[in-house]
Structure 1
Amino acid sequence: MENIRPIKTEADYDWAIVEITKYFENEPEVGSPDGDRFDVLATLIEAYEDKHYPITTPDPIEAIQAHMNMAGYKQAALADVIGSRSRASEVLSKKRQLTMDMAFKLNRDWHIPAEVLIQPYHLVNDDQRDKASAT
């Protein structure tokens, strides 16, 4: 394969991106030499990105907040899904854990992936809130 090398540095990564971009406008045939080169470049790029730019899954509350922001929802919309305004407020401020029933409803109604909603996360206690508001 012509000119393929390991991606060890940011410069190598930039080079690989330029090389693979050439194939986006003229996609190579699977199994051809260019197709094989494309596959190798894609694999190298993916390995480098996984190591240097890992994408972490948000905690359940971050995922709910991101969904609300993207959809333009207010806390009242969350209350409609999980039962009450006070419960929505407690969940968003991490004073109350999501229950399986809440996670089910959020997955069903808002299509937030269940595997994101059922992840463990820490609640914020009063001492942590006081320290955070003091800074």
Structure 2
Amino acid sequence: MTLTFNPDIYSQLLSQHQPRIIKTEEENENFLEIVEELLSRSHLTLEEDALLELLVKLIKDFEDKHYQLNVSTPRSRLKHLMEARSLEQADLVEILGSSEIVAKIMNSELEITKNQAEALGKFFHVNTSLFVLE
């Protein structure tokens, strides 16, 4: 059985929820509630999945624009992971090469290289992309 996208059902969902560019915190909260409700379901129709994808994009755009103070960087993510595990800079020397390199990375004097990002990803058991500038 092949599932097919039904534009009439999708139109009904769009009419019901009226997704649009989010301009206020209240609109953002309302769309977040719809997303949470959709995510709580065990199975979504193709139309519901399309609505979910649209809402997530609208929310992401709003939050990227309005919450820039909270934008993380590879360095801030590294610091967060270190704090969460109670690690000191010395604990990263073996991974990054030397205490001088660790200090320069932590003091924003050096960016994390691709090889270092891969080593950090393995060490922390996280995706390497966390340590790479986007």
TM-score (norm 1): 0.56
Q: 1:30 to 1:50 in 2, by over 3 A?
A: farther
Cα distance, 1:43–1:108 mapped onto 2, change above 3 Å: closer
The residue type equivalent to 1:62 in the other structure is: S
Match of 1:65 in 2: 79
Within-5 A mapping of 1:62-101: 62-94=76-108
Q: How far apart, in 1, do the equivalents of 2:50 and 2:88 lie?
A: 49
1:17 lines up with 2:63 in the alignment:
no
| TM-score, scaled to structure 2 | 0.56
Mapping of residues 9-48 of structure 1, within 5 Å: 9-27=24-42, 29-32=44-47, 34-48=48-62
In structure 1, distance between residues paired with 2:114 and 2:56: 38
Identity rate, percent: 20
1:4 to 13, 17, 26: 17
Distance of aligned partners of 1:51 and 1:72 in 2 relative to their CA distance in 1, 3 Å threshold: same
Paired residue for 1:129? none
- Contact 2:38-2:44 at 8 Å conserved across structures: no
Distance 1:11 1:53 in 2: 15
How far is the alpha carbon of 1:82 from its aligned partner? Answer: 2.8
Partner of 1:131: none
Mean CA deviation greater in 95-104 or 49-58: 95-104
Q: How many residues align?
A: 118
RMSD: 3.6
Unaligned runs of 5+ in 1: 120-135
